[in-house]
Amino acid sequence: MPATGTRKRLADLGAVASGLAHEIRNPLNALYINSQILEEMLAALPEEATDRKEELLSLARANMRVTQRLNDILSEFLRFARPTAMELVVADLNRVVADTLRFLEVDFARRGIELVAAFHPDPLPLFADEKQLRQALLNVLLNAEEALDKEKKVIKVTTGSERGQPFVRVTDNGRGIPRADRKQIFHLFFSTRKNGTGLGLPIVRKIVREHGGKIGIRSREGRGTTVTIFLPPEEQSKARMRERASGRPLPEKVR
């Protein structure tokens, strides 16, 4: 399908998703608010008012958790379905990765996860949306965290350049991906995690593809998984974006 046809299809999907989300969110929000009110009313009751107070409180709180989870899933789906306006800047992949790791390092340390970073000695210039790249990397890192099942938990993050193409590689020593699941990991709503939405990796792939990059995954059961994201260098990306823009000027914002 031509690129313009693909973009139109995604735009149509985004419009449908936005309309559907609006219709679903209104009753969801009402249900959440009603559950909050119910919880407050039950909590205010004296213990002798009903012998089922704790049971009823538990049900109200369970409703709130389920409603919040549905809202979260809806938000993730919209992030996947909506066409994304990219805020392109000249960026350094090393810095994007370092910023993302700083966001997680305290939580990982608290969970006993050893986070090892190895950065390319030179800057790795990109023409990219930094916020989207951080989101993609964050999704990969949280997936890696979820897969860790050994006493010694290690996630290694490496940046580099291969044949002129910058990359970031995330390797964990977790349980690995079963062979039967490997062809499905980018399918919408497929997840092996107990509370997974099945949207994390599809969002990663969408972001990487929108940047003209590629994502590769290698995994061995019981040994761990390696996810590598390759991105086009700055000038190649600018040329690609210029072609997509069909003559419209590219943004000049530089960091």
Write the pLDDT tens digit of every residue in 169-185: 999 999 988 888 878 77
As a whole number, mean pLDDT of residues 24-32 equals 73
Q: How many domains does the chain have?
A: 2
Instruction: Tell whether 101 is covered by a domain.
Output: yes
Q: Do 76 and 110 lie in a common domain?
A: no
238 and 123 in a common domain: yes
Structural domain boundaries enclosing 140: 89-245
pLDDT band at 244 (very low <50, low <70, confident <90, very high): low
Identify whether residues 142 and 177 lie together within a single domain.
yes
The string of pLDDT tens digits covering residues 122-148 is 999 999 999 999 989 998 998 899 889
Helix 200-210 with 130-147: angle, nearest 10 deg? 150
Asked whether 191 and 197 are in contact (CB, 8 A), the reply is yes
Query: Is 151 inside a domain boundary?
Result: yes
pTM: 0.66
Q: What's residue 255's pLDDT? A: 35
Alpha-carbon distance of 154 to 140, in angstroms, equals 14
Q: Are residues 216 and 182 in the same domain?
A: yes
pLDDT for position 165: 93
| Within-domain flag for 254 | no
Residue 64 above 90 pLDDT?
no
With H, G, I as helix, E, B as strand and everything else as coil, classify residue 224.
Answer: strand
